[in-house]
């Protein structure tokens, strides 16, 4: 009998650690550095900003864009 691949098993145990350092920049801009310690070199930065109608500078996607895209995935 062949062994079932891990991705096809009914139950799977997985651990995911994510480290985030977030900071408020000028006006409504927020920036974050995200690191996944278990994956060497897996560090990236994201930013969000509101448009001028909400006192932002429109220098990055609005927070709602990240929220809606996370639901889609």
pTM over 0.95: no
Rg (CA), the chain: 18
CB atoms within 10 A of CB 35: 15
Q: Do residues 65 and 47 make contact, with C-beta atoms less than 8 angstroms apart?
A: no
Q: What is the pLDDT of residue 10?
A: 79
Q: What is the pLDDT of residues 51-66, one digit of tens each?
A: 999 999 999 999 999 9
**Residue listed under structure tokens 């560090």:** 43
Query: What percentage of the chain carries pLDDT values higher than 70?
Result: 96
């Amino acid at each position: 009998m062949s062994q079932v691949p891990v991705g096809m098993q009914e139950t799977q145990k997985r651990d995911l650690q994510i480290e985030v350092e977030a900071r408020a920049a000028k006006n409504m801009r927020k920036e974050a550095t995200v690191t996944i310690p278990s994956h060497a070199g897996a560090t990236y930065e994201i930013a969000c900003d509101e448009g001028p109608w909400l006192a932002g500078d429109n220098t990055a996607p609005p927070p709602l864009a990240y929220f809606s895209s996370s639901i889609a995935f």
